[in-house]
Amino acid sequence: MLGIQFVITLMMATILSRVGPHLSLARWLLTSKFAGLVRYIHPSDEELRQFAPAPKVDKREKKKTRHQEKNGGGNGASQDSFNVPRNIDIQLVTHPVELTDLVQLRYYTEFQWLLDFSCYSLITYILSEVYISLMPDKAGQEVNLSLVWVFLVLGFTYKILVSLNGLYFEGEEAGGERSLVLVMGGAYLLFAMMVLLVSEDTLETGLEEAYKSFNNSAATFLEDNAGLDSSGPASKLVLKFCIAIWCGFIGSLFTFPGLRISRMHWDVLRYNDNSRSSVILHIGFIAPLVLTTLWIKPLTRDPLTVKLYKGMTKPLLSSEQFECLRLYLVCFTVLFKLFLMPRYLQAYLNLAYDKVEALKVEAGKISSLDLQRLVIRVFYYLCVVTLQYVAPMILILYLTILYKTLGGGSWLPSHPQAVDQCPADGTKCDLPEKEVLSEIGLGDILNQEETVEAITEKFSLAWASLKNVFTVEVFRGLLGFSTWWCCFVWFSSAAIGMGYQSYFTNV
């Protein structure tokens, strides 16, 4: 009665609410033995007092202190704070990262929710894909509810990225970060405008075909249902300008996550002595660059699907096989980067040790509270750094899933999905078991007094007619370009950060 899709959704929602708090992927990635993360504990006041000279307090200060203690006033923080030499020889104690430490951190709730919900959404999507592949006829009569989960994940990811970016706009001391975000957003906006001028023979965006399909289908829909004679509701220039603005916005959101990844990559290479591990780390760093080349025809598609090499009678891959290869490489890159995440996070946690070691070569004194905050602040922002690492990956992965599903792709090239679509030239479609949809107007449906079944059927026909406006070509162009752009910005921001680390970092 409810349909398999609805049953899968209810089952996963129940598991998420009941089992999710006890079995958390996010918690496992930070506290398990697989991660092996250790944090540095700040030195206590007793340990620091051994290096602090005895303070000289006159009689007036002693009398004032006794008076404040008697009246229950005074600033405890100022009384407990004292100065110590910067070059003290103190060793930080390490401790494994535990759940009791994580729950107090900023953005831990958001990190746990995003990663766990993404995991359950992926399971829901996989179960739906298996059901669709096994029973395509029956599944075609149901709504693919797994796409609702995918859209929710994308919405949560965008919200968290915007929230993380908002941290750099808080306070008066964030002027440099604000300027960097705005400058990078403007630079990516200009670069996106140039990219949108590149020919489809070079960069396989699919936007030209998407625009033609949408414009022709929308014009036909408006003429049939509203009686409007139009050549198309959208201008190509306005459409590309809106896409460029979105590209600049994504570029600004990916700026600091990319810079953070570059810093962690720089640090993890410093701590790594194994040449094989270094090769694996470098492969993980340049993997997004490999993904961006998959949409450049002269570099990947033409050599693999068109060109014939010596002794060959057909290309290495067919067009459908290349599409599947592109989907699988995106998924593999995300999983591979997730596998490397504990090493990057440990390199970030080691910043506490590096900062204390850097103080030892400086002259002068530092407040005990400032020294303790120097160590505490690194662990306090662990979940923020983790979100900067995983949020771009989740966004790219689920954009790829939408690109495959709504763009008419397939995981197996020998069994492509059958997708009803209208030709891009604007001709009308012949839908099975339905009359021509142009005979049904939206105004006629609302003005006639008919049975519930008849009205429901006409609304269904009108909805099917509206779906013909957003064809497979439209989704393939928009989602394909969005996936490519996110992969490009993901790598370019990290590459800019690596350039900065190479020229301006002394460590």
Whether residue 183 is contained in a domain is answered as yes
Residue 443 forms part of a structural domain: no
How far apart are alpha carbons 260 and 262 in whole angstroms? 5
pLDDT score of 452: 53
Task: Establish if 206 belongs to a structural domain.
Answer: no
- Please state the φ and ψ torsions of residue 420, each to the nearest 5 degrees: -75, 130
Query: How many domains does the chain divide into?
Result: 1
Coil, strand or helix at 294: coil
Provide the terminal-to-terminal Cα distance of the chain, rounded to the nearest Å.
65
How far apart (Å, rounded) are the C-alpha atoms in residues 137 and 45?
A: 71
In the chain, count H helices and then E strands. 22, 4
Neighbours of 325 (CB within 10 A): 16
- Residue 410: the pLDDT is 85
Instruction: Classify residue 231: in a domain, yes or no.
Output: no
Please tell me what DSSP assigns to residue 37. -
| Residue 387, pLDDT score | 95
Q: List, as one string, the DSSP characters of 394-441.
A: HHHHHHHHHHHHHTT--SSTTSPPP-----TT-PPP--TT---GGG--
Nearest of 426, 438, 417 to residue 474 by alpha carbon: 426
Interhelix angle 382-406/108-134, rounded to 10 degrees, is 20
Confidence (pLDDT) at 230? 57
Q: Are 389 and 257 in contact (CB under 8 A)?
A: yes
Sign, CA dihedral 228-232-235-240, equals positive
* 418 within a domain of the structure (yes/no): yes
Domain assignment of residue 365, yes or no:
yes
Instruction: Identify whether 464 is part of a domain.
Output: no
Tens-level pLDDT at each residue, the chain (507 residues): 457 888 888 888 888 888 877 888 889 999 988 888 999 988 888 888 877 665 555 556 556 666 665 555 444 444 467 788 887 888 888 899 988 889 889 899 999 999 999 999 999 999 999 888 888 777 667 778 889 999 999 999 999 999 999 888 876 666 678 888 899 999 999 999 999 998 888 988 888 888 888 877 777 766 666 555 555 556 788 888 999 999 999 999 999 999 999 999 999 998 887 888 899 999 999 999 999 999 999 999 888 888 877 777 788 888 889 999 999 999 999 999 999 999 999 999 999 998 888 888 877 888 888 888 888 999 999 999 999 999 999 999 999 999 999 888 888 876 444 444 444 444 444 444 333 334 444 444 444 445 555 555 555 565 566 667 778 888 899 999 999 999 999 999 999 999 888 887 654
Rounded (5°) CA angle 91-44-378 = 70
Phi then psi for residue 146, to 5 deg, are -65, -25
Q: In the structure encoding, which two tokens stand for residue 454, read together?
A: 């008849």
The whole-number pLDDT of residue 226 equals 56
| Cα distance between residue 412 and residue 429, in whole Å | 27
pLDDT at 333: 95
Average pLDDT for the chain: 81
Model pTM score: 0.83
Q: For residue 467, is it within any domain?
A: no
Q: Which two tokens stand for residue 275?
A: 């040449």
Q: Which domain holds residue 122?
A: 4-20+80-198+236-429+493-504
Q: Following CA atoms 477, 479, 481, 487 in sequence, which dihedral angle do they give, to the nearest 10 degrees?
A: -160
Nearest to 281 by CA among 292, 268, 270: 268
Tell me what pLDDT residue 139 has. Answer: 65
CA distances from 26 to 31, 115, 201, 336, 347 (A): 9, 6, 42, 16, 19
DSSP conformation letters of 171-231: SGGGHHHHHHHHHHHHHHHHHHHHHTTS-TTTB---HHHHHHHHHHHHHHHHHHHT----S
Question: Closest Cα partner for 231 from 254, 248, 244, 212?
Answer: 212
Q: What is the rounded CA–CA span in Å between residue 168 and residue 177?
A: 6
Q: What pLDDT is attached to residue 296?
A: 92
